[in-house]
Amino acid sequence: MEVIVQRDYAEMSKVAAQIVAELLNTKPNAVLGMATGSTPLGLYQELVRLHNKEQLDFSRVTTFNLDEYVGLPMSHPQSYHYFMHEHFFQHVNIPPHNINIPSGTTSNYSAFCEWYERRIGETGGIDLQILGIGTDGHIAFNEPTSSLSSRTRLKTLSKQTIDDNARFFERREDVPVYAITMGVGTILNARKLVLVASGKSKAKAIAQAVEGPVTSMVTASALQLHRDAIVIVDEEAASGLTMREYYDFIYAAKPAAPRA
Ligand code: PGA
């Protein structure tokens, strides 16, 4: 795992966007895994800027989103369909038929989940998956005790996640209790993982995910099993890491390091 510590949220977002841009410049028809939440917003803003100012082209890109709330129609301002359209898709040139987001309103969830997994496979698999992390250590909505080989399925949200996400809804009771989410196994199949985290509230989850044991109690710790996982954090989110100097040393030495 590579850990990159940046000064603040803006720098964290830029470094993550640069990794996505480098992929698109070498593979214009890349398959991107997208994440929602407040953390990747800066990364999306930077990608939109690169699209507008530096002609970063998304015309051959395919996307798969990690998750969606069950029961919210696409037009609901807190649905992840709405979020992605609002903050990213309407600002870049991804063909609409290349955009895939789990349905929160299907009449048959198990058939939909199977189809979603199949569809990812048909496109050749996800080249780069963007991830956030929950304060309970989740990736996507893979809450504590999720199987580390899980696939796309329905999940019940943890109390912690419902509390964390209540800020986006009028009342706590309005937060959906269920979500449809890619599994940890689905995520680990992506060829590259880029996890972004910012702020003090993420420090404990990041320390557990990066330096703790691999455990389904912190599903982000499964990134330790992946051969190309990059964790990009700001100073506050890095504050619980004990190997901080080592990460900085590797990052600073990178341009001169022998190439694999
Ligand atoms: P956040 O959510 O970016 O809004 O903190 C992260 C997550 O729950 O994955």
Nearest by Cα to 146 from 158, 164, 135, 159: 158
Separation of CA 132 and ligand 1 centre (Å): 5
Ligand 1 atom with least separation from CA of 139: 9
Residue 241 makes CB contacts below 8 A (sequence gap 6+) with 3, 5, 206, 207, 210, 211, 247
Residue 4 pairs in a beta bridge with: 232
174 tagged catalytic: no
Q: What is the pLDDT of residue 260?
A: 57
228 tagged catalytic: no
The phi and psi torsions of 65 (rounded to 5 degrees) equal -85, 150
From 46, 68, 127, 136, active-site residue: 136
Separation of CA 98 and ligand 1 centre (Å): 24
Domains delineated in the chain: 2-253 (3.40.50.1360)
Separation of CA 38 and ligand 1 centre (Å): 6
What is the Rg, in whole angstroms, of the alpha carbon atoms belonging to the chain? Answer: 17
- The residue whose CA has the least distance to atom 7 of ligand 1 is 134
Could you tell me how far CA 210 lies from the centroid of its own chain? Answer: 16
The phi and psi torsions of 69 (rounded to 5 degrees) equal -70, 140
138 tagged catalytic: yes
163 tagged catalytic: no
Per DSSP (E only), the strands in 84-169 are 99-100, 128-131, 153-156
- Digit-by-digit pLDDT tens for the chain (260 residues) are 999 999 999 999 999 999 999 999 999 999 999 999 999 999 999 999 999 999 999 999 999 999 999 999 999 999 999 999 999 999 999 999 999 999 999 999 999 999 999 999 999 999 999 999 999 999 999 999 999 999 999 999 999 999 999 999 999 999 999 999 999 999 999 999 999 999 999 999 999 999 999 999 999 999 999 999 999 999 999 999 999 999 999 999 987 877 65
Angle at 93 between CA 74 and CA 81, to 5 degrees: 15
Separation of CA 39 and ligand 1 centre (Å): 6
